[in-house]
A and B are shown apart, each in its own frame.
Chain A
Amino acid sequence: MSVNNLSQGKNQWTTFQLIAFRISFVFFIIISIPNNPLWYKHVFAIDWFNLDYRDLYDICRFGSGVNWFGRTTFGYRLEGYSIWVNTLFFSIIAGFMWTFVLKLLKRDRSAYNKLFYWLHVVVRYRAGLGIIGFGFTKLFPVQMPYPSLGILDTDYGDLTAQKIFWLSFGIVPWYQIFAGILEVGAGTLLFFRKTVPIGAALLVGALGAIVVVNFAYNGGVHVYSSYFVLLSLFLLVPYYRPFYQLFVKEITTKVELYLPKFRSPVNYVRIGLKAFTLFVFIGVFFYLQYIDFRYDPYKQPSSAGVTELRGNYNVTEFKLNGETRPFNPYDTIRWQSATFEKWSTLTFRVNRPVRLDLSNGGGDPKRDVNRTFELSGVAGGQRAFHYYADTDNKKLYLEDKFKLIPDPRNVTAGEGGDGGVRNYLRDQKAYDDTPATSLEEWLPDSVKHKFADEVNDVHPKARTTRRIREFAKADELAKKEVRQRFVVNYTVYDKGNKVILEGIDENRDSLYVVLDRVIKDYKLTPGKLDAGQYD
């Protein structure tokens, strides 16, 4: 295959190098291959003719490593790194067995220049694709959304550290775009052998900082970000010594890396494959992520909220079962304030402890009710309800966005994901407040058909197969979910400056709420780069 080499490796490796290479080979091949059957299932199910950005994202993001021994090393989770340690143990044993077998067969090698090159290729593409998948959600700033009205109205101390960090990126979309360009750029540089060290060095710096951020802010993605640091440090192995020799020792040197030169038919195949990879994971991905940003930002609901309702409100009158509860900061029942988002969410604040969703609020849900970024990591008595609006009869069908067991997130990501449902199920406790209103009572079939078209409640370009498939299962899933639900009538007065909600609340008490619009003198203003379309 190789004739004139651009660059030659060393012909005689030391015994240490040979054994270290065998161990590294086993280790890096294993951690570059998906270990979760779900990933393969996902990839084979992809509809390539109606792609969702998340289809490509899922291809790029998978868990890997030796997981046959469970998720602990001698009982320790090691902050999630145990899978790496287990893989390393496995590779050390495999590496020594490899050495031993060669000795036994008397087929000792003096160098692995070609195999090293191919290992490099595998790791380069794994790291490159992975970081591109990660980077595109920043390049079109949707990974860290702009804070919703409900969050803008939440006190700083009522947020988790994770939320604070994510939001601090969300308020400056341009900066998020820069981070995305850096990640996608670094990933792209890994596809070309000459720019590998630049891409890898950028990744070590950028992802190294993200690892620390995840530890400091408890972001939960430390293992997956460390993954790129590890892969990049490995890619830099051939460069450390020459760098040291040239700049510190100040002696003439060169990088000893074997680079094959391909004969033309092989080369055409190689160029074709590479061009295809670039086309799909840069070109198509760019377009899909743009569609997501423009019409269906994945952490925000996609359905528009009722236009005349949107805004911040003071709760000026509140009656429960006919009894007026005057404004009082100590009152634990009354609503203290409320917001209607530009999408289909009502939030209101109560002065009592409420159950919290402490997840990152990300993942891939398509149904609005399951997109919980506005709710996760937010306390202060803030409750968020998704609504279906029957604008003809001025009715809102509200359902709590909080549910005790959140959906699995990043299912194909394994240990690299933020846990998902498996971790939550482990400490599941009995749910003490069973909803008073059943799903059928809340949304009887006579009404349900009005909202049956929710799957199309987004721009046609964002009606992906993935979305359609998820909505096809929606009814079945909704039955399993435990949520608080209620229905109110709404009346709008004075061009939307006053809204009255009337109905039976989640506890079957009759509810009468007068909301007066209020303009808040916020110091934050959304820029022009606003994700989503809610007109």
Chain B
Amino acid sequence: MKPYQLCGQPSMHARRVESEWIAAGIAIIFLLNYLSWLVLPSSVLPSTFIAVAVITAIGYIGRDVSQRRYLMAMALGIGFLLLFFAPFTDSDARSIWFFHAKRMYFDGSIAARLDDYPGWAHTSYPDLVPAAAASCARLFGVWNEFLPKIALELTLVPPFLVLISRCESSRFKLLMLGSLLYLTRIQLFSGSMDAHLALYAVSTIVLLRECFERQHQRGRSVTVAAALVMLFSMASIKNEGTVMAALLLVPMTILLLGEHSNRARLAWPIALGLLASSPVLIWKFRLISAKITALFAGDPWARAALRFGDGGWTLIATSLLDEAGIALVMLAVLFMVAGKLERLVLYFVVAYLSILFFVYLSTPYDLVWHISASVERVTLVVKLLVAVILILESQRFVLRLPSMK
């Protein structure tokens, strides 16, 4: 069977391309919102961008409903209602992400954060979602514990659109939605950015994977553009996202160089990439100018050597394997059953787990505390990615059976 043979159905293909347009459009609005907080914070741009994002999302969902497609509308509607059961209690959400948003709202800019107050709010972290939260608060002129939460749901729209639109039947759309929600569970609306980051990373990989598979198919440029925007959005969510984006830039570059033998046609992806990466690049430049160093300052190699000596590496390896082992097994099963080696997925999983291994190996914190506080959150992306790939491959298999369409 040819990859994505079913894309031949024009309406399904058109709908998928349309979803990619909308997802990329909304994601770029969030990046522009972040950029406007960095360069024109006192203008009306932040409020305007968030209003445009809301209108675009509601317009798209409204059109879905008018065409009797209710899943996204129901998911977003229920998600919206779930936001208001409680204020944030997660310590990362309160002391880092939504404290950043609160500072943006009260200080009127991101630059004020460079004073590193109060000293434990991780000033170096990028702020895509907090910027959206601050814009929500500014749009309505009020700060509280609930209104900024709307940004949590709004920023989920692009990855959900990308991933759910990959499914051809309502049954698989439901399975995809159920799996995403089940795996991210409480993290999705807790205000810690791990679930958001994982969803953006998985969307980027799924789009990239599809670009490699759908050689010379109409509408592929939109998929490439959506993958680029999602990739740089991911880099603006968390520092781990910057690392993931760097990893995925390798296949993205291979894809672009392989596709465009005519170098002049590379102009638009480069221009889009520069625009989408500008917020995180500007922020990193400002951090360097303000001499705010990353957490892993000091001598990471010496600490890593020490942990190799004292056996700390075994704890790291077993912890990572405990969390991501099942995902690796599933990848192996997929290879044995479908005879398909998921090169891109395997590359990402192995490279990312290797980086995590080194990060834990060289952490300046107490190793046991650092692992127990973070390993489940940082490996979420691996579990989510393998679950999504399994669903997409199962769909490809099942849809060959006529009665299952």
Are both chains from one complex?
A: no
Q: A residues engaging B (CB < 8 A)?
A: none
